[in-house]
Amino acid sequence: MADFDFVPGKKNYPIEAFAPDGELWWESKQRGTTGAVPRMASWLRWNVELGGRFTTRQLRETLNIKNEHAQRRQRELRDYGWEYLSAKEEPSLGEDCILEKYGWWPGEGPRPSRDSISAKLRRQVFERDGGRCVLCGRAAREKYDDGSTVVLTAGHIRANSHGGTATLDNLQTECRVCNESARADTGSTADPQSVVEQVKSLKKSDRLEMLSWIRAGQRTRTNLDRAFDEYRLGGPLVQTAVLDYLERVEER
């Protein structure tokens, strides 16, 4: 934790962790702080470092949340800017979640409006796009070059700030990296000439395909991509049947 002036008698918490009534934000009775989502947000903000782990059970027991829908309330944190990995994105985590980004918590002021993209609409976007980022082609749970796990989100084609709406025809599947606006705001650190040289090294057919992607504003999925997606999403029976067929063909 950073160096703050600590409140006397309140061990290990900086003054920012306390509400105006003198209580820790997740123990405060002030208006706007008592619901499950605000309390979870406050506790995570001051008890879990970025990259640290927590569990739904830990939140429920620590905050004495009896609500049977505690896990759903935890997922709602994502509507307020919180980002974390769970077993859904990385099965090896089990019950653990890894905190990747802090979002809104009561100490920042009134709760903002929730993300207008509903879970149902997000699923429709993912299903339409084959469960892959339309910009880089990566699927959920695949790995980036640095070993981190791909997490998908629904991104606006036309941004909210430019009048874009949360409708199926204005949303597309993007991974968190492609969706991240910071890269565009700060400018790429890549050397333009080195990227051009990399493009030059491609086969002519690959260069033409890349040109079509750029003009379309997204990566075009091939029949091979679609077949692999059907395999990947088809479940054990489909995967076994496809693997058996390909291995028989290879042996001929």
d(CA 106, CA 45): 10
Answer whether 17's CB lies under 8 Å from 46's CB: yes
Does the global pTM surpass 0.85?
A: no
From residue 24, alpha-carbon distances to 17, 46, 63, 101 in Å are 6, 10, 12, 21
3-state secondary structure (DSSP) of residue 42: helix
Out of 1.20.5, 1.10.287, 3.10.310, 1.10.10, the CATH code matching 15-108 is 1.10.10
pLDDT at 211: 92
| Among the ranges given (21-25, 122-126, 177-181, 243-247), the one the predictor scored with the smallest mean pLDDT | 177-181
The reported pLDDT for the residue numbered 3 is 37
Mean pLDDT score across all residues of the chain: 82
Q: Tens digit of pLDDT for each residue in 193-242?
A: 888 999 999 999 999 989 988 888 777 778 888 888 788 777 788 889 99
Q: Which residue has the higher pLDDT, 11 or 15?
A: 15
First to last CA, the chain: 62
Enumerate the domain spans of the chain: 15-108, 116-189
Q: Which of 102, 99, 106 is nearest to 34 (CA)?
A: 106
Confidence of residue 31 (pLDDT cuts 50, 70, 90): confident
Among 39-48, 111-120, 143-152, 240-249, the minimum mean pLDDT is found in: 111-120
Maximum C-alpha span of the chain: 77
Reported as a single tens digit per residue, the pLDDT across 104-136 is 899 988 887 765 677 789 889 998 888 889 888
Look at residue 182 in the predicted model and tell me its pLDDT.
Answer: 33
